[in-house]
Structure 1
Amino acid sequence: MELSTWLAFFAASWAISISPGAGAVAAMSAGLNHGFARGYFMTLGLVLGIWTQVLVVGLGLGALIATSSLAFAIVKWLGVAYLVYLGIKQWRAPAEPMVAEVDGGAGLVPRRTLVLRGWMVNAVNPKGTVFLLAVVPQFLDLARPLAGQYAVIAATLGFTDLVVMGVYTLLAARVLRLLKSARQLRLMNRTFGSLFVAAGGLLAFFKRA
């Protein structure tokens, strides 16, 4: 990949990461409920989900998902179900912050669970597959080996997401410090729960191009 081509993709990847979506909601929700240090593990999962999408597209499976009605429907409804599940879970979360390191962190959501949740948000999302299928080929040089170019694309998307989602997580964690009453915490939980369900609803209406 030429430097000029990579710079163009680097600029595009910032726009991709900053644009609001289920990933941003997940990152902010993690920061709100777990603070920055623990909540950032959600971002690591989101990046692994992006890399999974790039791998799927690179192996040609993305085209199968985009063109097969059955495969597309399976992935889409898995994504919808998972986002709605997260929304209901967040809505019903107790009205108390979960960042206090009590008894060495006993009772807190394990970091690996946050990573898995983040991975699921991005990996089971056909919108990401279709988007990468539409965007990535514009930056590929078909006369050169594709594996290295896909690796660069994955690393670039991973870097921008680590930064952007980290900022979302940090901002939400700062907001957490301002929330003192159970009523405020309940309102925030229900707000993010509603956002997850809304993201799932939007995904349900998403169709193949």
Structure 2
Amino acid sequence: MTIAIADMLLYAGALIILFMTPGPVWVALLARSLSGGFQAAWPLAIGVAVGDIVWPLVAVMGVAWLVSAFAGFMTVLQWVAVIVFVIMGLALIRDADHALSANSRLTRPGMWAGFVAGLAVIIGNPKAALFYMGILPGFFDLSVVTATDMVAICSLSFFVPLVGNLVLAASVDKVRGLLKSPIAVRRMNLTAGWLLIGVGAVIALG
């Protein structure tokens, strides 16, 4: 494997920060947990995690080809990663007071409906592809990426959000109050926003 452990840890940290950002998946997990308990929520978490494998895989393959075809493209993509993180961070800080709203398509009952909803919320979002296309070159040298490296990247992309979502679903009684409190939502968004900007700074200085 050509990927350094430090780069893997930084990437895992970025995934954790992204998980900390409240969004539609959080709302769907909480809604499903409240209505049907952990049994109703875990299929959605699995669907989200599976989707989180697809986009990194597509991004790694596509960006690796571009890097091999155009000299110097890697440097450009690294700065794209910096810009993506900073913009995401600033957007979170700007909209820190925005409350979350439920999406009925993500809260339909049933195990299969939960899995499909989790998969759809990731696969059906073109911003996810752009996000991974933008950030992966900031963490890894895709010009020398190997099959083992791709397995490692996809494994992190799968397990980090899966563990986070399962813990969230299992802890719904304690966490649900966070989404009802405007102050708590603001604090989470501000924290996640500054952390994302920090990750961008680390990439820029690395």
Match of 1:11 among 10, 13, 18: 13
User: Residue 30 of structure 2 corresponds to which residue in structure 1?
Assistant: 28
Matched residues in 2 for 1:111 and 1:55: separation? 26
CA 1:16–1:175: 2 relative to 1, 3 Å: closer
Matched residues in 1 for 2:115 and 2:57: separation? 18
Q: How does 1:77-96 map to 2 (within 5 A)?
A: 86-87=103-104
Match of 2:44 among 42, 45, 49: 42
Secondary structure of 2:119 counterpart: helix
In the alignment, residue 126 of structure 2 is paired with which amino acid? P
| Ranges of 4+ aligned residues in structure 1 off by more than 3 Å | 173-176
Secondary structure of 2:142 counterpart: coil
Matched residues in 2 for 1:152 and 1:132: separation? 15
Matched residues in 1 for 2:162 and 2:106: separation? 25
Which segments of 5 or more consecutive residues in structure 1 lack a partner in the other structure? 64-83, 94-108, 177-209
The aligned length equals 140
Cα drift, residue 53 of structure 1: 1.4
Post-superposition Cα deviations, 1:18-68, rounded to whole Å, max 9, x if no partner, equal 21222222222221222013311110011011112122223329x9xxxxx
Matched residues in 2 for 1:3 and 1:33: separation? 41
Q: How does 1:163-202 map to 2 (within 5 A)?
A: 163-172=163-172
CA 1:157–1:145: 2 relative to 1, 3 Å: closer
CA RMSD between the two structures? 3.2
Equivalent pairs: percent with the same residue? 22
Matched residues in 1 for 2:59 and 2:106: separation? 31
User: Residue 191 of structure 1 corresponds to which residue in structure 2?
Assistant: none
Cα drift, residue 88 of structure 1: 6.6
User: Residue 137 of structure 1 corresponds to which residue in structure 2?
Assistant: 137
In the alignment, residue 147 of structure 1 is paired with which amino acid? A
- Does the 8 Å contact 1:28/1:171 carry over to 2? no
User: Residue 147 of structure 2 corresponds to which residue in structure 1?
Assistant: 147
Cα drift, residue 89 of structure 1: 7.9
CA 1:25–1:150: 2 relative to 1, 3 Å: farther
Matched residues in 1 for 2:103 and 2:127: separation? 18
CA 1:164–1:57: 2 relative to 1, 3 Å: same
TM-score norm. by structure 1 comes to 0.57
